[in-house]
Amino acid sequence: MTLQDHSAISRVMRSDRGIKWFVGLLLAAAVLLPLGHLLFPPESSLHVSTYTLGLVGKYMTYALLAVSIDLIWGYCGILSLGHTAFFALGGYAMGMYLMRQIGTRGVYGDPLLPDFMVFLNWDSLPWYWHGFDMFWFAAVMVVLAPGLLALVFGWFAFQSRVVGVYFSIITQALTFALLLAFFRNEMGFGGNNGLTDFKELLGFDLQASSTRVGLYVTSALALLAGVLVCRWIVASRFGRIIAAIRDSESRTRFIGYRVEHYKLWLFCFSAMLAGIAGALYVPQVGIINPGEFAPINSIEAVVWVAVGGRGTLYGAVVGAILVNYAKSYFTMAWPEAWLYALGVLFVLVTLFLPKGVLGLLQRFKRAES
């Protein structure tokens, strides 16, 4: 073998045709769907409705969440069953910005206080709502809030060498605790109604179809960037070390790596990625409420990764889109059946497709050649 080319691009693209396919398809989707929306009139069969754009855009943010889970689960063996907590925190940070943008257009027309605070007879803005009228501040909080939570939580968990199923259980507890906290009106995040009725983002009307297109394209590009950055990480020596930690944690310690530091770095990065996904999710669905913290959501997100095939990154994207498409279909056609279908799916995938859909494709390819 010749000396490897070490540029960042080759590091990301090397030795994997799947990633090239993935980049191509995602770019195509990012361009073609908006074109279909803008070029064809609504009566044309090639027209893409704003509803479809919003739906696919939402899937993209779910896919980014799935990528952040795959990064820690597939590559480092950390199974977080509370990752939507970080997703929801990012979403709340964005939601707070959108609330502040409403201004006097709210029902009560208060220039400073969001409607729910007026309703609760609050006379001033809580201290943690300050600054959210500025987009850059909200954007920083989108990554900082999940990152800080992950830092504190991860520091205690990894320092105490909490691993495996115990870690998964306490992440469930974490997201459940946040669910209960955000349900309380006194927390100042809108209680069980959450934050909604958004008007505009950076001056663009959220109902306008051009804004929807913009949000869709941003989500697609964020997903692309997320996957590529994660690829860059796992293809570095750092990536080989976290995989070594996954396979044999104590051995990694004995050759001198501080396992806790590696896990903590990765966990924080993953949480920030989930936060970005949440921030892109909220303006597209138009609401963020404590339901996003529900433990079942985190488990669902893990199922996406398992279905797609973990340890590939784009497998997580495939899984997130497949399962959510199935969910959209099922909840319309046969709502009661969805949770059962999800359970059956998880059992079947675990039993018969340990490497997910992508593993199945690889097996077919190998059988051919």
By CB under 8 A, name the binding residues for another protein.
Answer: 1, 6, 233, 236-238, 240-241, 243-244, 247-248, 250-259, 261-262, 265
CB 246 within 8 A of CB 293: no
Q: Which is nearer to another protein, 254 or 352 (CB)?
A: 254
Q: Which is nearer to another protein, 8 or 208 (CB)?
A: 8
Report phi then psi at 206, rounded to 5.
-70, -20
Place of tokens 């989500």: 219
CB 72 within 8 A of CB 270: yes
Q: Which is nearer to another protein, 112 or 244 (CB)?
A: 244
Q: Which is nearer to another protein, 62 or 267 (CB)?
A: 267
Which amino acid is located at 351 in the chain?
L
Smallest gap from residue 261 Cβ to another protein (A): 5
- Helix (H, G, I), strand (E, B), or coil: what is residue 205? strand
Smallest gap from residue 154 Cβ to another protein (A): 13
Q: Which is nearer to another protein, 154 or 283 (CB)?
A: 154
Other CB atoms within 10 A of residue 227 CB: 25
CB 215 within 8 A of CB 284: yes
Tokens encoding 169: 């259980």
Reference 218, options 241, 197, 234, 201; nearest CA is: 201
Q: Which is nearer to another protein, 243 or 294 (CB)?
A: 243
Transcribe 38-66 into DSSP letters: HHS-TTSTT---HHHHHHHHHHHHHHHHH
Smallest gap from residue 312 Cβ to another protein (A): 14
Q: Which is nearer to another protein, 241 or 326 (CB)?
A: 241
Could you tell me how far CA 362 lies from the centroid of its own chain?
26
Smallest gap from residue 357 Cβ to another protein (A): 21
Query: H or E stretch including 103?
Result: none
What is d(CA 144, CA 131) in angstroms, rounded to the nearest whole number? 14
Could you tell me how far CA 230 lies from the centroid of its own chain?
13
Cα end-to-end distance, the chain, whole Å = 23
Smallest gap from residue 257 Cβ to another protein (A): 5
Smallest gap from residue 27 Cβ to another protein (A): 26
Print burial letters for 106-132: b (CB count within 10 Å at least 16), e (below 16): beeeeeebbbbbbeeeeeebeeebeeb
Smallest gap from residue 162 Cβ to another protein (A): 17
Q: Which is nearer to another protein, 261 or 363 (CB)?
A: 261
Smallest gap from residue 239 Cβ to another protein (A): 9
